Structure formats: structure tokens, C-alpha cells
Structure 1
Amino acid sequence: MSRPDWLAQAPAHARAFLDGRRLDEVECIIADLSGIARGKAMPAAKFATQSHFYLPNSIFQQTITGDWADDGDAAFLEPDMVLTPDFSTASAAPWTADWTMQVIHDMRDQSGEPVPVAPRNVLKRVVALYEAQGWKPVVAPEMEFYLVARNIDPAKPVEPPMGRSGRRAAARQAYSMSAVDEYGRVIDDIYDFAEAMGLEIDGILQEGGAGQVEMNLRHGDPVKLADEIFYFKRLIREAALRHDCYATFMAKPIQDEPGSAMHIHHSVVDRATGANIFVGPDGSETEAFLHFIGGMQAHMPSVIALLAPYVNSYRRYVRDFAAPVNLEWGRDNRTTGLRVPISDPASKRVENRIAGMDCNPYLGLAASLACGYLGLRDRIAPQPQFTGDAYNSAEGMPRDLTTALDRFEAPSPIHDVLHPHFVSIYGAVKRMEVDAFLQVISPWEREHLLLNV
């Protein structure tokens, strides 16, 4: 079935981008396990004549290095998935030379069932569990990333970018407006691209690292916000390339600098009344609020492999270095992994500070929400609030990817929430990435072991 009028179903910002112009190309995309955009680009006229297209399901067995993990089946048949466009995600690709639109696609198998290993479907599955209970989860992500000098030699350490002053971006300048101005042209393009794409930025600030930026997004629906982070990562990289630098979302790209997190603020509202279930009519905290925290404390160790998905991710978890190393919770306490920010009662929320910016946004949000859901469902009581410096507490979480995968693959209620087949595929892919990493000999090993042991 053709769709010559598909743009009528697109958001207003997409139609505005094309006002008076002829659309040249449509990029039909999905996010793989790593959050990389994969799919097909096609002429706009061709896109308008087809209702779906196909991609092999092996896309979700590909590692970050381009290898392919075995999912345990007897044969590697690579059956096709059926991809259909979600027109609500239609958005400009304003960095291209022609007039191009992007459209995120839904993924189903040939019998019409959602592909369980597709990250967007994993998140939709978790959100549906909330909806079945009459709840609506609300999230507000914070994105941290680095702008760095061009680096085409993987053996060379990453450096901060050169600013407009002719000096490299300085560290330890958190919240400095002049530090942001050093690479203001990149920020200007980020704003311009976001406006063209209909993406709303709540604020941009300088973080503690040299060239490190934090960008806050307004709160909303988890799937929509994950789509936006997926888009934002792409547009930020493109904005940086226009100005002779890179944008990186690695958890720890520069030695001795803080890592980059994706803090996730959570609240849950009653679908019938729209009220925040974390507070009662008098504004006091409810049992549901405590149960959500309890679920995160109980089940977060099982999903760290989703929140910190690479060997590099665990370099971010350094005691007293702007990243949590624990699963304690506290009010207005940035040393705890779970923080309750200052807010009015209607905005009562829990901030998960564990997730790294290198995680797939669909899987990071799904993992965090899954823990809170199990806490609500099973009425899990949290540990007592931590009121001191939580860096002095027991860590309580895996500190390397192998240990995290052991916890992820061990029997857990999380498996049924996320889907057992997803757990199997994800574990196989990440195990293969760990094995590939262990084959690489680092400069540290050559410096300290070559002649000394």
C-alpha cells in the first residue's frame, strides 16, 4: 500500500522544515543494541510507495566491533524483520546537503509479534507493564558528553578541543559561562539542529571536565524521550564535526577527568487522575515512593550491564570523582547512587545517577524503570536513607563488565520484565565484546609489565 500523503501524519516541525521545499531522501532507521542508527536510506518517492521494508534480525547480534555473536540457535539463518514507520518520529536531518527526513521504525517478526530483542521494543514492554497497573512512568534525562579534539589515531590519548581563544578547553570549570563560550559555535549548531528537528532542550551547561557539556531534557514519556536521546546523539556529533572536533559519549574518554553520565529522573503518575503516586494528597511521601526506591536498590545490580555496557563504562565509577559507586539513597545528596532532588510535592522524583551516557537510551531507561516497577509490584522496602558521605558506604554494585554480566544473566525477575530472549542475546553480544577487549594490550601493561615482571 502506498503512502503518498505520509507527511500529513508527520509532526508539525517536520512539515515546517519542508515548507516550500521538495523532500529528497528518507532515512529509515532503528537503534541496535549499542544505540547505533541502522537501516536504509531511500529516495522520498520510493519511500512513499511502500508500507514497510525488511532487515535481518542479526542486526541485534552485532557487537560494537562489528563481529557477530551466536544466539545459541543451531543455524544462523538471519530471518527478516518487518519494519514499519512510526510517523510520529519523523524529523529533519538538517546537517545533510539535501532535504532529508529521518523516521524511526517499529520492528515486528513475520508473524506480527514485536521483536523482543529490539531495544525500542524492550522499553515499550516495560512501559506497558506500568500501564497495565494504571500507572504512567515519567522520565527526565540529563545528557553529559565531551567535545574533544579530532583524534584519528586510537593509540593517541584524547585531548580537549581548541577553544575560540586558541587555548584548549580547561578542566574544573563547572557552570562557567565563559567555558561554554569557548566552543559556542558548536552549541549554536546544536540549538539550530534541535529546533529544526522539533527537539526541546531544557538547558545546557559546562560540566567539570575539560570540554564536558551537560544538556538537560524536559520530562515526558519514556519512549519519546529515548527517541529524542537517540536523535540528539546523532545531531550533537554532526554539530561537532562542522567545527573540527568530535563529540563523544564514552563514559570515560579522558584520563583523570570525570566521566559522562545519563542521570535519569523518575516519577510515576496515576493514569486516571494524573496525580504523582510518590506523594499523597497532603504532599507527604507515599509507600509507593519508598517501594520504587526499594526496587531500584534490590534489582539495580542485575541491570548494571545495561546502564554501564562497555569495559570503559566502569572507569567512570571512581570514588570521590563525581560518579556514584553505591546504591544508597538520600535527599539532595549527590554522593548517593539514588538521589531525591529538592522539589515541590507534585514534582517528587527519584534520580538514578548510575547510568552512563554510553548506554543505549532505550535500554538504560528500560532497565531503570524495570527496577522501579518490581519495587512497586512487590512492595519492596528500601534501605534506610543515607545522610552522610555515601562514598564511605559499601559499594553494592558490580565494578567491571564481567561481574555485571554474571549478575545480569543469573536468574532474576528482571528477565521476565525485559524478556528472556533479549537477556540471552544481550549477554552473548557483551561477552564477545569483553573477549575482544582482553586481546588488546594497553600502554599501561607495556609500561609497567614489559621489563619489570
Structure 2
Amino acid sequence: MKNWTKQLPTPAQDYLDGKRLDEVECIISDLPGIARGKAVPATKFIKQDYFHLPDSIFYQTITGDWGEAADDDGFIEKDMILRPDFETATAAPWTGDWTLQVIHDAYDRDDNPIPFSPRNVLKRVVQLYHDKGWTPVVAPEMEFFLVARNIDPAQEIKPMMGRSGRPAAARQAYSMTAVDEFGPVIDDIYDFAEAQGFEIDGITQEGGAGQLEINLLHGDPVKLADEVFYFKRLIREAALRHDCFATFMAKPIEDEPGSAMHIHHSILDLETGENIFSNADGSATDAFYHFIAGIQNHMPAGLAVMAPYVNSYRRYVKDHAAPINLEWAGDNRTTGIRVPLSGPKARRVENRIAGMDCNPYLGIAVSLATGYLGLIEQSKPRDEFKGDAYEGDGDIPQVMGEALDLFDGAKALHEVLGPEFARVYSIVKRAEYEEFLQVISPWEREHLLMNV
């Protein structure tokens, strides 16, 4: 791997300018979105073109148990070949030495992409768009909470202490004073992002106590998913420096709004670069409506990926800043599908369904996959919704088991995401769900122990 540093993005080269690289973290996202891999000395990394990890990392539940998802060869933990994508090389600026992170892609011994590796799933969906002459463009929004340190799972999660010495307050959306309360953490987030070459479009206070939102500039889906994957880690590291935790749980605190990963979509014509959602006269195209219809028709089955945990479904509560249905409307934040105010060139569709707890590769892949199916099927959406969609009926699954049943029956969605991914994902998530069902909650002990 001679002269490999010349392949690095400019921010990574700038980070290392005049420094001696000590270590390279070779990483890949598992199904939950956790970084798996190896940290190797830079001198060793220079000598290797790839490294190995067992395919079983994709069979693990969030608790570390295993789903019986191995193929016909059995659970033998076959080695995958992981090759670096140097375009993803970026600093790890919170470490004590000079360290780079590099995302790797997973292949089998015949050089085929591992079909249940999340980054490969997203690449597959993007390629389907390219095959039709389209370029998908996305812009994710990341919501998260800064909370007090919590090392006892039996204790409720509480807001962090602000620099004023008072706990973070709720219902302070867009308050600059509230943002100032977390100033030291936000300063480190900006510093880490700058060192990693990430451009933040803005940070705002959301409605929850200690809840913030970071917006990213629109761009290539795989690149943006890489950034969200990296951002989750850098935000956690920034919080730890200031004696608090950053959490991306969909619903970490009772009676507070949950955290979403809203995804904005537009589709460009590969040849002309024009937005296929807008006609020359500025009006909306049939493709725009087909894309919306695809989300309405296929998102109930995709929800098991967009809302991957039991906790995810606690977010879909009326009047708590999360959608309860898949109605669509222009500039209406109560609907699951929103069309933001924009000019024709920037006409886009915002999917407000995904929780921030989803794997960014898989969340973006499923959102694009549902829109793709709408474009292929040329289906029509329901009429534009008028009014407060929170007052309507819910039309998305309310529990994980129901969502998994819908996902298992969604053969058209499986073909877009990859049947082998769908098989493995379902097995792992059902193992996780069954494990949760063995846990007796405080609510059950309080209300059932002596009353039933």
C-alpha cells in the first residue's frame, strides 16, 4: 500500500500534516450501527491491503447475543475480507495520539459484497437508482439528547446539568439561551467535526430537555450515512469530556419528545442534473407523487428497520413531535411525509418516520427503497392532508412484533434491499425482541403484582 496517504481526503492530510501517524482504526458498521473492527499500528496498516473479521458480527443482537442467521454452511464464523475505502479516512481527534479512522467494505472469499453488511445494502439501493438514470440526494437531520451520566439501568435518565448549574429545561425549542447551556459540549462537537472534515449546516435546541438537532448538507447517500455513523461517535466523545452522556435512543425520557433522523430526499437526472421532482415550469412532476406514494405504500413494512428496537415505538405518540401516520402535506410538521418550502430546483420530500436509533445506512436505504418502489410502480399517493395529522388515525405499526411481521411479508422491499439481508435482519431482530419479552418491567411490578 505504497503512498497510501496521498489517497486520503484533504482534511485527513491536513490533520496529519507534520505529525507522525500512530494508529489506524479499521472499522465497519454492524446491524445496530456500532463500529466494529481492529485498531492497528500505522506501520502494520501500511503493509496490509485488507483484514479479516468473522461474518458473525452481523448476527449479533444489541445485547451481544446471537441470532441463528448463519447460512447453509452453519455457524462457523467465516472470515470476511474487509478492504479500506480511503475516501472515508478521517481523524479521531479525541484520542491521545495521532489516529485515523477508515471505513471498510466487506466481501466474501469470491469477492462478492457481503449482502447483509449495512453499507453494502445502501450501495445496492443507490445502484438501482443509477441503473434507472437517477442520482438520489439526501440530507439527514440528527436529533439527540445530552443527559446526566447514568451508570445504573434501574435509574431513570435525567437531563444533563447546564453550565448555569441548572438541569436542562424542556419546551425550549430554538432557544439560543438553551443552546448556550451546552456551549462547551457544542464547541467540542464543532472542533471534532472540523478536524474530521464534516460541515455542519446548523445546531438547534429541540423541544426536549437537553435535546439538540444537527443538520447536515445534502449530498450522496453513502457519504452522508458515513458522516452520521461517524457523528454518533464524535458526539458521544464530546459529551464524555464534559461529564455527560449523549444518547441516540428514540425515546430516552418519559414525557419528552423522542429523537428522529429526518431524511430529506430529492432525485436528479444522471445526464442533465435536473431535479426529477420538478417540471420546467416549476410544477411538481408525476415522479414526485410516485415517490411519496412509495413511502406511503411500503414504509409500514420498512418500519422494522427505521424503528429497530422496542423503545423506538414509544416515540410515535400523539402530540409529541413525532408522526403517527404516513399522510403527506406541504410544510406540515405533523405529517409523516413533509414537503418543505423550497423553489423548484430544491423540491424535496422529507421522511419524518425514522428514529435516531436506526442504523444510518439502513435507515437511508429503506427510505430510498420505498421511494424507488413508488417510482417503479408509478403509484399515486393519497390526497394531500389538510390540518393536524396528530388528530388522525395511526397507520404505522405500534409494536416491534407487528412491524417484523409486516417486514417479513414485504417481498418487493426485500428484492430492493436484498433477500439475504432481509433474512438475516429478521432473524436477528426477532431474537432481540424475544429476549426483551423475557424482561419484567417496573410498570408490570407496580400495577400487576398486587392487583390482578
| 2:421 match | 422
2:50 matched residue in structure 1? 52
Contact 2:173–2:205 (Cα < 8 Å) also in 1: yes
What is residue 329 of structure 1 aligned with on the other side? 328
Q: CA offsets per residue over residues 386-419 of structure 1, 9 Å max, x none?
A: 0111122221111111000000001420010001
State the partner residue of 1:311: 310
Structure 1 counterpart of 2:31, one-letter code:
L
Letter in 2 for 1:27: E
The reply to whether residue 247 of structure 1 matches residue 250 of structure 2 is: no
The 5 Å alignment of 1:301-450 reads 301-450=300-449
Local SS of the residue matching 2:316: coil
Preserved contact between residue 89 and residue 100 of structure 2 (Cα < 8 Å): yes
Deviations 1:318-369 (A, max 9, x none): 0111000000000111111000010011000000000000000000000000
2:124 equivalent in structure 1: 125
Q: What CA distance in whole angstroms lies between the structure 2 residues aligned with 1:73 and 1:44? A: 35
* Partners of 1:198 and 1:338 in 2: CA distance: 31
Counterpart Cα distance in 1 of 2:373 and 2:181: 45
The answer to whether structure 1 residue 279 and structure 2 residue 278 are counterparts is yes
Relative distance call for 1:450 and 1:78 in structure 2 (3 A) is: same
Match of 2:157 in 1: 158
* Residue number in structure 1 paired with 2:190: 191
- Counterpart Cα distance in 1 of 2:344 and 2:36: 41
Counterparts of 1:63-74 in structure 2, within 5 Å, are 63-71=61-69, 73=71
CA displacement at 1:4 relative to structure 2: 3.3
Per the alignment, in what secondary structure is the counterpart of residue 59 of structure 1? helix
- What's the counterpart of residue 232 of structure 1? 231
| C-alpha contact 2:301 2:410 (8 A) present in aligned 1 | no
Cα offset for 1:136? 0.2
Q: SS at 2:142's partner residue?
A: strand
Instruction: Name the amino acid aligned to 2:26.
Output: C
1:170-194 deviations in Å (ceiling 9; x for gaps): 0000000010111100000000000
Q: What secondary structure sits across from 1:261 in the alignment? A: coil
Which residue of structure 1 lines up, in the alignment, with residue 291 of structure 2?
292
Code of the residue aligned with 1:107 in structure 2: it is: A
Q: Distance in 1 between matches of 2:67 and 2:189?
A: 36
Q: What is the Cα-based RMSD across aligned positions, in Å?
A: 0.7
Give per-residue Cα distances to partners, 1:284-319, cap 9 Å, x unaligned.
100000000011101001100010000000000001
CA displacement, residues 152-177 of structure 1 (integer Å, 9 cap, x when unaligned): 00000000000111110000000000
Q: Report the secondary structure of 1:320's partner residue.
A: coil
Distance 1:422 1:301 in 2: 18
In structure 2, stretches of 5+ residues that fail to align are: none
Q: What is the rounded CA distance, in whole Å, between the counterparts of 1:359 and 1:143 in structure 2?
A: 11
* Cα separation, 1, equivalents of 2:160 and 2:299: 35
Question: Which consecutive unaligned segments of at least 5 residues does structure 1 have?
Answer: none
Structure 2: how far apart are the matches of 1:431 and 1:304?
A: 14
In the alignment, does 2:28 pair up with 1:30? yes
Superimposed CA distance per residue, residues 21-49 of structure 1 (whole angstroms, 9 cap, x where no aligned partner):
00000000000000000000000000000
Per the alignment, residue 11 of structure 2 pairs with 13
Instruction: State the alpha-carbon separation in 1 of the partners of residues 57 and 91 from structure 2.
Output: 25
Instruction: State the secondary structure of the residue aligned to 1:67.
Output: coil
Alpha-carbon distance between aligned partners in 2 of 1:63 and 1:129, rounded to the nearest angstrom:
29
- Measured after TM superposition, the shift of residue 72 of structure 1 is 5.6
Contact 2:140 2:215 in 1 (8 A): yes
CA–CA distance in structure 1, aligned partners of residues 276 and 398 of structure 2: 33
CA distance in 2, matches of 1:271, 1:424: 32
Which amino acid is 1:225 matched to? L
Give, in whole Å, the separation in 1 of the partners of 2:49 and 2:353.
40
Q: Which amino acid aligns with 1:37?
A: A
> Residue 214 of structure 1 aligns to a residue in which SS?
strand
Q: Partner of 2:146: helix, strand, or coil?
A: strand
* Corresponding position: 1:102 with 2:101: yes
